[in-house]
Chains A and B, each alone.
Chain A
Amino acid sequence: DTEVTQTPKHLVMGMTNKKSLKCEQHMGHRAMYWYKQKAKKPPELMFVYSYEKLSINESVPSRFSPECPNSSLLNLHLHALQPEDSALYLCASSREARSQDEQYFGPGTRLTVT
């Protein structure tokens, strides 16, 4: 199984809402990532988890809160988002947190903030 799953596929939320994005992999990977991708732009790294510990935070605003409950799951908690946060949020995993390791990406969650 080389699949990374993400739920939900689409999410519409107001600026005062709290919601969560979920990501799951069962490949035994010990590194998991969140990326943000705006339309017609490349993916931008947000967070890296290595062995369930946050290892990189790319200066992401605190309204985005990542969580890694176990080695297979990665969540992204959203609170008080802005309309400019509307984007495709991609989760990925790799065997280890090494830049040359192949990253497996999920299909993404399309987020719209109203």
Chain B
Amino acid sequence: LAKTTQPISMDSYEGQEVNITCSHNNIATNDYITWYQQFPSQGPRFIIQGYKTKVTNEVASLFIPADRKSSTLSLPRVSLSDTAVYYCLVEGSGNTGKLIFGQGTTLQVKP
């Protein structure tokens, strides 16, 4: 399983766009990139997943360069309620269901 590296913490202000970059230099050909969000005392929640280029949903965008050695989660116009821990996971398409969470990025959104 590829290892990921993310910033430990980030600060932002309401209304700003936030970009969190994840490094995964050893990503394998069949690995997907998935981001989860976790609020205090709650379980993680799936945000977005991609394999290459760009993926967008109603919550976020995920940018993946051609070499796939990194990815960037983009949160448009954050609000206070986006304060959470964001985990980047790189997982293969094997039939295991095994997820390995890294340390994550604690995003603090200020008013």
Interface of A is mostly: strand
Interface size on A, residues (CB 8 A): 30
Interface size on B, residues (CB 8 A): 24
Q: Are B43 and A97 in contact (CB under 8 A)?
A: no
User: Which residues of chain B are within 8 angstroms of A90 by Cβ–Cβ distance?
Assistant: 43-44
Considering the complex of A and B, which 4 residue pairs feature the smallest CB-CB distances, nearest first? A105-B43, A97-B97, A42-B101, A99-B91
Q: Which residues of B contact A (CB under 8 A)?
A: 32, 34, 41-46, 49, 87, 91-104
User: Which residues of chain A are within 8 angstroms of B49 by Cβ–Cβ distance?
Assistant: 100, 102
Partner of A43, one of B32, B34, B44, B97: B44
Q: Which of A12-20, A44-52, A62-70, A72-80 contacts B (4 or more CB under 8 A)?
A: A44-52
Q: Which residue of B lies closest to A33 (CB)?
A: B97
Q: Which residues of A contact B (CB under 8 A)?
A: 4, 31, 33, 42-45, 48, 50, 55-56, 88, 90-92, 94, 96-108, 110
